Amino acid sequence: MDITRLKELRKKAGLTQVELASIFGYSTQRYNYYETGKNEPDNETILKFAQHFRVSTDYLLGSSDDPTPPDEKKADSEGMTPSEAAIQYFIAENGREPTIDELKSFLAVAKGLFSTLPDKAN
């Protein structure tokens, strides 16, 4: 996860680490470890952060510079963001959630493949 983005979002919301930890029911230390990069949040926690700050999980993971919330930018007809679709695909194929590094790698490959598709406007 891109820890600088998490910190920026928290500060932009006018919240302290103590306040945000309380919102999620975490200890201040647990939240601090996420924000400082000492611990990586699991996929569920990343999704919670993204929903709270109204940004995409791709933005929090650092795989996109576009913070557009998922309900404003849908990747497919089922309304999933690219990260959500990648996680669902990975779980279906591997029977477990991907690690953060696996998800980043998967998204990088997918973006490379999609960049070779013709533009819909043509």
Residues 10-54: tens digit of each pLDDT: 999 999 999 999 999 999 999 999 999 999 999 889 989 988 998
Tokens 């990975």, residue?
Answer: 90
122 within some domain: no
The answer on pLDDT for 65 being more than 60 is yes
Domain count, the chain: 1
| pLDDT at 105 (0 to 100) | 82
In this predicted model, which residue has the larger pLDDT, 46 or 96? 46
Q: How many CA atoms lie within 13 A of 89 on its CB side?
A: 12
Closest residue by Cα to residue 111 from 70, 62, 47, 48 = 62
Q: Indicate which CATH number applies to the domain containing 109.
A: 1.10.260.40
Q: What is the mean pLDDT of residues 94-98?
A: 77
Q: Which domain holds residue 88?
A: 3-114
* Residue predicted with more confidence, 52 or 107: 52
Average pLDDT, the chain: 81
Which amino acid is residue 100, in one-letter code? Answer: I
Q: Is residue 119 part of a domain?
A: no
